Structure 1
Amino acid sequence: MGKIGDSLERAEAALFTRPLPKTAPAQMRFLVKSEKGSTRAAADRLGVSQRTVERYLTGQFKHPRKDLAARLTAEVRRAWQPRVRERAQKQAAATGGIVVETRARFGFTAAPGSTDDGRIRRITQHLPAAYAARLFDARQTGASEQQLRTIVAEGLQEIYFKDGGRRADDLLVEFKDIDYVELEY
């Protein structure tokens, strides 16, 4: 994933009410349970054999290789507390909105006589629920990082730069060279 997608993952992880399982066997048990008891589906998800998953479940294996440990943790995090995620997303998409904190280069296309030179800005801005809903829908349908970035850029353009339609009507904002981006909802 890219910076926007990773930031959405971190924002969701901050909402968890319980910690993730710490040991590899506990993580494997959770992953198999989330796949409705199918060790084959869990193995396919991790890119290992079904027998490897079974060995973790029986306790024969306890310490995975670094690459498998990273994939296992990522898959568990992706499946952890789906109802908590869903409830928070619904609230953000309906009423709460999303807060974007970023440091990036913003370039502009504007009326003649104004500057279009991009410059680094640090912005913290609350975006309304409509942008949160668009962002969640796009991510759920498998949108690319560029598409997610475009949604965030449109939100910042309308709310921060155009001040909700009170100024700079013809301004178009380019969101590039992202140093960091953090999302909260």
Structure 2
Amino acid sequence: MGKLADGLDKAVHEAFTRPIPKSAGARMRYLVRQLKSTRAAAQQLGISQRTVERYVKGQIRTPRKDLAARLERQVAARWQPKIRAQAKQQAATTHGIVIDTRARFGYTAAPGSTDDARLRHLTVALPPTYAARLFDARDQGATDEQLRNIAAEALQETYFKDGGRRASGLLVEYTDVEHIEFGL
């Protein structure tokens, strides 16, 4: 996953009402419950079914670093699906999404204006339509470049063109993303 996809996931995870289980055993039990079998959990994690059973029984307590990371990712992806859907729905219909980014912005504009790309730090509240487009693209498996193009269009229309009140011929290029965070 890319920076934008990870940022969208992180924003949704902040909406959770309960923390993700901390111990490896609790995470494994949750994953087994969600997938309905130890075999399915073992296939998702790339380990043996017997190893999953040992975690569930508490015979193994500390996983290897790579397994711990895979386990955390799998549990986080399935944690509180109704809360996740509700947060996305609110962002896409009423609240919108806040983007905080530090990136290089270049412009294609009318003659006489500066179009040199420069590094900027922006924090902008995007309208719900762009939040919906970002989440829909993320859910459909869009690449980071496609998500960046949607974010660039959103920043262009919302921040640089101020909703159509200025700079009508401006086209914004959004590159070299150093930092990006989303807030719901």
1:51 match: 50
Shift of residue 10 of structure 1?
Answer: 1.4
Mapped to 2, the partners of 1:59 and 1:94 lie a distance apart of: 44
Mapped to 2, the partners of 1:83 and 1:43 lie a distance apart of: 25
Other structure's SS at 1:84 match: helix
Other structure's SS at 2:83 match: helix
Shift of residue 114 of structure 1?
Answer: 2.0
State yes or no: 1:6 paired with 2:13. no
2:31 match: 31
2:16 match: 16
- What are the Cα deviations for residues 93-137 of structure 1, in whole angstroms up to 9, with x where unaligned? 011110011111101111222222110111111111100110111
Mapped to 1, the partners of 2:39 and 2:109 lie a distance apart of: 55
Mapped to 2, the partners of 1:39 and 1:172 lie a distance apart of: 52
What amino acid maps onto 1:156 in structure 2? L
Q: Which runs of 5+ in 2 are unaligned?
A: none
Mapped to 1, the partners of 2:168 and 2:44 lie a distance apart of: 48
1:177 match: 176
What amino acid maps onto 1:24 in structure 2? A
Normalising by structure 1, what TM-score? Answer: 0.96
Normalising by structure 2, what TM-score? Answer: 0.96
Mapped to 1, the partners of 2:144 and 2:51 lie a distance apart of: 33
1:130-169 paired onto structure 2 within 5 Å: 130-169=129-168
Other structure's SS at 2:177 match: strand
1:111 match: 110
Mapped to 2, the partners of 1:41 and 1:57 lie a distance apart of: 14
Q: Size of the alignment, in residue pairs? A: 184
State yes or no: 1:73 paired with 2:72. yes
Mapped to 1, the partners of 2:127 and 2:90 lie a distance apart of: 12
Q: Which runs of 5+ in 1 are unaligned?
A: none
Structural RMSD (CA): 1.0
Q: Return structure 1 stretches of 4+ with deviation > 4 angstroms.
A: none
Other structure's SS at 2:178 match: strand
1:126 match: 125
Mapped to 1, the partners of 2:166 and 2:121 lie a distance apart of: 20
Mapped to 2, the partners of 1:174 and 1:50 lie a distance apart of: 49
Mapped to 2, the partners of 1:113 and 1:165 lie a distance apart of: 20
